[in-house]
């Protein structure tokens, strides 16, 4: 879910056209490590990001009046005196996707289709939730939904209060400092007329009307607030789900309760990566130049980190069937990940879990036997001590083209596997076309 921090009175900004407000980053003030990323935009807005399994925590630090000397937006005659150069905003844009490199080649473009967003007041700041539908992208898949839930926290020491100066009041039901906006949406042709932010708390777009959708949240320095030379901080927690907005909100409550700080989230992520991935390989100092070469060590552990980024654990996040610890689900599979002997040696449990995922997956969707190459059978027989999974894929390969695999009596588990179970597979004659029902 796209969130963009904006600074100032928004003069000359078209919220439907990111070319009017995007900012370059300062590479000298950017760094990344396991569990933490930070960068600073050229307008001096600092962004820090930490994450858990389904939730991100973003900390924005806006320059205060004494700091904001080098950047200002173009002036405009219609700017209210209540709008200042130190106003802080966060734009939520449901249409923000990864387009193709050029308009003429849209094969791999993601496309926003429709969405809905709801804004609500909260104890420490406004919140929002909803869903958006997308299509296309790298696998060229069909329509899929992303449900989201976000909330903002503004500490008292930030010296910020909600600003209604950027929202046109419509009706009596509103959330202070927040509003929604629509605009005519075209992936490669932004609107020439800036959309108006209105105080609607519930907003929708539908397939066919080709309208973009977003929300704007605004704050202004409090006249009675403390003088803060360190900057004004706004924290944002965002949860995502393929199931529902309620599940996305529950992830925030479970993974990032109010009792846990930003630094706690960073430390939790680092500890998990260390215990589950990075500590599986140790470089022994035998006195050789290679063992003492910090560059080689950095390359090794960076590669080890990259090897664990995919596939993605989406257990409990499959809309088409129920997945849980007994029937886990991973996606973003690449054959090289499954086949890597190094990965098998370093993370054998994770690899066999992925194998369990594949055997469960083909029980729910139509699979062509040619999709399971002989090398996979050899790999499973050599590296995973799960005889029934190997038997399962042997029987899958024995199915003739034009037949669909039907699963019965699954006997494998993600953890604590017992070989007493037996996966029995039968080839039932069905009419199906290649790829029907396949998950992207």
Instruction: Please list the residues that pair with 218 across neighbouring strands.
Output: 89
User: What is the per-residue pLDDT for 354?
Assistant: 53
Distance CA 271, CA 269 (A): 5
Give me 25's structure tokens. Answer: 């980053």
Q: Domain 2-271, CATH 2.70.98.10 — does that match?
A: yes
Give how far the C-alpha of residue 317 lies from the chain's centroid of Cα atoms, to the nearest Å: 13
CA Rg, the chain, in Å? 25
pLDDT digits (tens, 9 = 90+) for 38-83: 999 999 999 999 999 999 999 999 998 645 544 444 444 444 458 8
Distance CA 254, CA 267 (A): 17
The dihedral through the CA atoms of 288, 293, 299, 304 has a sign that is positive
User: What is the per-residue pLDDT for 261?
Assistant: 93
pLDDT digits (tens, 9 = 90+) for 243-283: 999 999 999 999 999 999 999 999 999 999 999 888 888 88
What does the domain layout of the chain look like in residue ranges? Answer: 2-271, 310-429
Q: Which residues of the chain have pLDDT under 70?
A: 65-81, 101-107, 139, 226-228, 333-440
- Indicate the DSSP class of residue 198: B
Helix (H) or strand (E) holding 405: strand 403-408
Q: What is each CA distance from 96 to 108, 137, 185, 196, 352, in whole angstroms?
A: 15, 13, 11, 18, 36
| Three-state SS at 204 | strand
In the block, residue with structure tokens 């393929």: 242
User: What is the per-residue pLDDT for 102?
Assistant: 65
User: What is the per-residue pLDDT for 361?
Assistant: 53
Give me 29's structure tokens. Answer: 């003030």
Q: What is each CA distance from 432 to 140, 186, 260, 330, in whole angstroms?
A: 20, 36, 50, 25
Cβ density class 100-115: b for 16+ within 10 Å, e for less: eeeeeeeeebbbbbbb
Helix (H) or strand (E) holding 37: strand 36-40
User: What is the per-residue pLDDT for 280?
Assistant: 83
User: What is the maximum span of the chain, computed from C-alpha positions, in angstroms?
Assistant: 78
Distance CA 295, CA 301 (A): 10
| DSSP states of 142-183 | EEEEEEEEEEEE--GGG-EEE--TTSB--SS---TTEEEEEE
Distance CA 174, CA 118 (A): 11
């Amino acid at each position: 879910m796209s969130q963009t921090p904006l600074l100032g009175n928004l003069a000359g900004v078209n919220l439907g056209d990111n070319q009017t407000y995007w900012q370059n980053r300062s590479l000298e003030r950017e760094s990344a490590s396991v569990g933490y990323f930070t960068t600073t935009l050229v307008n001096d807005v600092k962004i820090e990001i930490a994450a858990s399994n389904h939730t991100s925590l973003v900390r924005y630090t806006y320059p205060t009046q004494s700091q904001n000397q080098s950047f200002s937006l173009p002036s405009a005659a219609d700017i209210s005196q209540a709008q200042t150069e130190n106003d802080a905003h966060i734009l939520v844009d449901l249409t923000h996707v990864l387009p193709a490199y050029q308009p003429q080649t849209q094969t791999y473009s993601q496309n926003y289709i429709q969405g809905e967003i709801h804004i609500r007041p909260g104890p420490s700041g406004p919140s929002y939730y909803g869903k958006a539908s997308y299509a296309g992208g790298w696998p060229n898949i069909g329509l899929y939904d992303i449900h989201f839930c976000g909330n903002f926290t503004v500490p008292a020491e930030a010296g910020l209060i909600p600003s209604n100066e950027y929202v046109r009041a419509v009706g009596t039901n509103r959330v202070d400092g927040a509003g929604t906006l629509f605009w005519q949406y075209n992936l490669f042709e932004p609107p020439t007329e800036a959309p108006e932010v209105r105080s609607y708390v519930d907003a929708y777009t539908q397939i066919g009307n080709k309208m973009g959708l977003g929300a704007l949240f605004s704050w202004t320095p409090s006249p009675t607030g403390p003088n803060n030379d360190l900057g004004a901080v706004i924290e944002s927690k965002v949860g995502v789900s393929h199931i529902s907005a309620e599940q996305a909100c529950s992830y925030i409550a479970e993974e990032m309760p109010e009792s846990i700080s930003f630094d706690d989230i960073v430390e939790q992520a680092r500890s998990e990566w260390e215990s589950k991935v990075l500590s599986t390989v140790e470089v022994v100092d035998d006195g050789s130049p290679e063992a003492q070469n910090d560059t080689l060590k950095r390359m090794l552990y960076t590669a080890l980190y990259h090897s664990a980024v995919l596939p993605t654990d989406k257990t409990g996040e499959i809309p088409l069937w129920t997945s849980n610890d007994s029937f886990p689900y991973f996606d973003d599979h690449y054959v090289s990940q499954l086949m890597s002997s190094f990965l098998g040696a370093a993370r054998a449990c994770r690899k066999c879990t992925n194998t369990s995922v594949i055997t469960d997956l083909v029980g729910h969707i139509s699979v062509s036997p040619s999709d399971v190459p002989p090398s996979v059978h050899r790999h499973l027989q050599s590296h995973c001590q799960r005889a029934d999974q190997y038997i399962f894929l042997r029987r899958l390969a024995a199915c003739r083209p034009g037949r669909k695999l039907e699963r019965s009596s699954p006997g494998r588990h993600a953890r604590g596997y017992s070989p007493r179970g037996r996966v029995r597979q039968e080839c039932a004659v069905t009419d199906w076309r290649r790829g029907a029902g396949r998950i992207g």
